Amino acid sequence: MLPKTGRKLPLWTGVLSGRETYARTIAELLRKEHGDSRRAIKQLMRQTDASERTVKHWLSGQHGPDSVYFLRLVVSSSVIRAFVLGLVDGPAAIPLTGPVDRISLTRAREAYAAGESAGGRSATGARKDDPERVPEGDPINVPDRTELNERQHWFLDRVAEGRSDARDIAAVWAVSLKTARRDIAALKVAGLICYVGSCRKGRYQIVGQHRPPRAR
């Protein structure tokens, strides 16, 4: 039905039509996933680091999660993630005009990595993410200088421009830290980079002036 005032159709309908509808929808989804018990409240508090009062408001539909809390739910809740994917693929979404090229994808990953770095890193994670530490028993396949993968070429570019480590590879390329450390260890064994300085404040450097060409 058209609104009484104005001649245009509402831009947003359904769950995106307003805050009240959004809050009710999120409440239903959260109750479907966790129930409506004390245990559900505790679980959502652990997932999002929200207060008990805030979580109760979500479950009751009094108001929906905003900004950071919603993003935490997208990451930690399979139901909320599926809900978001449904919105992205829904009729209200603006379709892509063409395929996402590699440059755009790389920039998106770099933006994500920058956001992760801006969020800070835990003190306990510093030792676990020590770039010199490779898991024991993890085989290292040393690549030929002309057979580096895209992650390794990207990492060499970042090292040449400044500071970078395994956490950046993991964030930008969506791989595990184990894989990222293996990429870096192979570059070190191949004599392409070296690590200088202390574990906490050191950094990688390019060895020599020659860089292996990218495979075409």
Task: For 23-36, write each residue's pLDDT tens digit.
Answer: 999 999 999 999 88
Is the pLDDT at 112 greater than 70? The verdict is no
Is the pLDDT at 148 greater than 70? The verdict is yes
For the chain, give every domain's residue range.
14-88, 102-206
Each residue of 163-173: pLDDT tens digit?
888 999 988 88
Orientation of helix 67-76 relative to helix 78-88, angle to 10°: 110
Domain covering 14-88 in this structure, CATH number:
1.10.260
Instruction: Answer yes or no: are the C-beta atoms of 154 and 164 closer than 8 Å.
Output: no
- What's the sign of the alpha-carbon dihedral 180, 183, 188, 193? negative
pTM for this predicted structure: 0.48
pLDDT at 118: 65
**Domain 102-206 part of CATH 1.10.260.40:** no
Contacts of 80 (CB under 8 A, 6+ apart): 26, 29, 30, 33, 70, 73, 74
Instruction: Answer yes or no: are the C-beta atoms of 138 and 172 closer than 8 Å.
Output: no
